[in-house]
Amino acid sequence: MAMKLASVVVVLCTTIAAVCGGDEGMKASFVFGDSLVDAGNNNYLPSLSKADIRPNGIDFSASGGQPTGRYTNGRTIADIIGELLGQENYAQPFLAPNTTGRVILNGVNYASGGGGILNGTGKIFVNRLGMDVQLDYFNITRQQLDGLLGKAEAKEFLMKKSIFSITIGSNDFLNNYLLPVVSAGERATETPDSFIDSLIISFRSQLTRLYSLDARKVVVANVGPIGCIPYQKTINKVKDAECVGLPNQLAVQYNSQLRDMLTELNDNLPGAKFVLANVYDLVMELLTNHRSHGFRTTSYACCGDGGQYQGIIPCGPTSTMCDDRSEYVFWDPYHPSEAANLFFAKYIVDGDTRYVSPINLRQLLEL
């Protein structure tokens, strides 16, 4: 479950001939990550991390307000970025039975609530798709594209007309390292430095594997200020205007190494363009100046049941819900509202290098 404000790659892409210019434009979006961008994969898993119950999706017009497995009241950040870039159809969940045939030419969503960079992350949820498994599934899609388009055209389709987005890493802290030792977190055996080093080593290998499968335009979100989510604020009993220190310190340390790693990959992998979505600073901007951006509260979850900031029990049929969801940064104890996702997406698509670098997504599409 994990909110995550961030770890936001985000990669998001789309059928956007209108924006990119006919056949030369982006055609598909391949989305990897956690519950921030899960479009319903966990619906098909016997998992304790699910969002297929009301009132999740209450503002998702494409489903008539019915839950789809998205961990928010409406669209995810991946959905919104696709729309901003002209995408007509959302990338469908890999595990959905109708994600077959030419449907995959719109792209595929592999993200999974509870998933992380490390295979052991999120095991408290029993089942979830970690990044290694998501890449295994993309390899299946990769072979299907060869069958649909032919090997040469499939390679060009992926390298020139597809965007890959990755939003992952928050669960590796929230639902791994920061768990109590009795819950099998990694703190019992690893220092923060060694744990973050292991994340970077694993993630570098995963991104290199994605490159070997012909991904070239890749957006990666860093980890947001996870010490500011209602769940962390509630269990640590901090004041309204405060965030929990340790989770944010870990995120900052990881994000610094992530930036260096993406620069290294850009330098060493011919033709690759890895773009960093600086979700951490983007979320902090919203939290710090929320009123000027039209939000009323940054501490309380709109939908929850229990704790100082509605930050204990995930959103479900018995939860209390706020009256105006557009005024809340957080939908539930872990995840942003659609209104917050819209704020983030606009900056990632058209923002400057404070929030997305070395180029933004609209510029990435024009390459």
The predicted pLDDT at position 186 comes to 59
Q: What is the DSSP string of 125-166?
A: GS----HHHHHHHHHHHHHHHHHHH-HHHHHHHHHHHEEEEE
Asked if residues 37 and 170 have their Cβ atoms less than 8 Å apart, the reply is no
Catalytic residue, candidates 38, 202, 290, 335: 335
The predicted pLDDT at position 87 comes to 81
State the Cα–Cα distance between residues 160 and 158, nearest whole angstrom.
Answer: 6
The predicted pLDDT at position 306 comes to 78
Catalytic residue, candidates 7, 35, 49, 319: 35
Is the bond leading into 55 cis (omega within 30 degrees of zero)? yes
Question: Which two structure tokens, joined as six digits, stand for 182?
Answer: 């009795």
State the Cα–Cα distance between residues 309 and 234, nearest whole angstrom.
Answer: 6
Asked if residues 312 and 305 have their Cβ atoms less than 8 Å apart, the reply is yes
Per-residue pLDDT in tens (0 to 9) along the chain, 367 residues: 444 444 433 333 333 333 333 344 447 899 999 999 999 999 999 999 999 999 999 999 999 999 999 999 999 999 999 888 888 799 999 999 999 999 999 999 999 999 999 999 999 999 999 999 999 999 999 999 999 999 999 999 999 999 999 999 999 999 999 987 544 555 667 899 999 999 999 999 999 999 999 999 999 999 999 999 999 999 999 999 999 999 999 999 999 999 999 999 999 999 999 999 999 999 999 999 999 999 999 999 999 987 899 999 889 999 999 999 999 999 999 999 999 999 999 999 999 999 999 999 999 998 8
Please state, in angstroms and as integers, the Cα–Cα distance from residue 32 to each residue in 38, 166, 365, following that order: 8, 5, 18
State the Cα–Cα distance between residues 312 and 257, nearest whole angstrom.
Answer: 31
The predicted pLDDT at position 188 comes to 63
The predicted pLDDT at position 187 comes to 65
Question: Which two structure tokens, joined as six digits, stand for 336?
Answer: 């942003």
35 is catalytic: yes
- Does domain 17-366 match CATH 3.40.50.1110? yes
Asked if residues 37 and 31 have their Cβ atoms less than 8 Å apart, the reply is yes
Evaluate the CA torsion angle 294, 91, 363, 220 in order and state its sign: positive
Asked if residues 51 and 67 have their Cβ atoms less than 8 Å apart, the reply is yes
83 half-sphere exposure, CB direction, 13 A CA radius: 11
Asked if residues 281 and 355 have their Cβ atoms less than 8 Å apart, the reply is yes
**Residue 90 DSSP code:** P
State the Cα–Cα distance between residues 258 and 268, nearest whole angstrom.
Answer: 15
The predicted pLDDT at position 19 comes to 31
The predicted pLDDT at position 82 comes to 87
β-pairing, 217-221 vs 273-277, is: parallel
Residue whose pair of structure tokens reads 């909110």 in the numeric block: 3
Catalytic residue, candidates 47, 290, 332, 337: 332
Asked if residues 341 and 80 have their Cβ atoms less than 8 Å apart, the reply is yes
